[in-house]
Amino acid sequence: MALDEALWQNFADQSAAQAETGTQSAPILRFYGWQPAALSLGYTQRAEREVNFKACEELGVEWVRRPTGGRAILHDFAELTYSLVGSVEDPQFSGGVLESYRKISGALVEGLRLLGVEAEMAEKDRRGHADAITSACFDAPSAYEITWQERKIIGSAQARQRGVLLQQGTILLSVDVDKLFKVLELPARLDRAKTIAQVAGRLTSIEEARQRPVSFEEAQQAFIQGFASHFGQDLTETELTPTEAALALELQAAKYDNLAWNMERQRPIPAFR
């Protein structure tokens, strides 16, 4: 999380410096996994309400707050996480939050297609719908998130500052719903077994859609090709700069390794063009 924010902040710094010359840095696309498993909370979620701290400790699951919004996600070894940093003035991502979601989702759909999964974008935002009953990200799709047979397969969240967006997303290779609801607190009014069954019916994974497993490496290559094909440009692999690496360590110490910061509900980051 610290590295994603460092890339985001550094990109914004560079964009500000380039504004006078009319130049623009290339977007940054990153893929990664989690070890050990971790529960990530949206930027404004209340940790004391959402996290079962005892279960996390017993299962060896860490937890952290994301720099983006949305609901809680359990990240483990059967998942591919992506992050994307780019200018909101870049035609590839321009427009409001929903419009940029739509554009980025096209690349995600293409990546799934290359893996043999014919997915589509959700047409409506159902996060605030009455049947979205839990704090789990995959309980309900937002507009333009990715579904397969009307079940959510990729969940994403976006934040913007200084004219630069950061979008983070979870691509489910397989899924363990029972484990998710062990580390999440459920409202007392909900029947646990019924809730788990209901949410399980609303999400899916690449493994389930293809009826066979997919490796992290195979999925990563498919989505790299999907982004390149959708946006019509080749992607170049790069290394972290010393500035990005140093900033990531600073943010890790100040925020993401800081229990007090993770516990405190953060104010929304303004989303603007």
56 is catalytic: no
State the SS3 of 197-227. HHHHCCECCHHHHHCCCCCHHHHHHHHHHHH
Q: How far apart are CA 149 and CA 109, in angstroms?
A: 13
- 3-class SS of residue 38: strand
- List of residues 6+ apart from 168 with CB closer than 8 A: 4, 66, 67, 68, 81, 82, 83, 84, 156, 157, 158
Query: Taking a C-beta distance cutoff of 8 angstroms, is the pair 34, 81 a contact?
Result: yes
Catalytic pick from 3, 47, 136, 137? 137
- Integer distance in angstroms from the first to the last C-alpha of the chain? 23
Q: Where in the sequence numbering do the catalytic residues fall?
A: 137
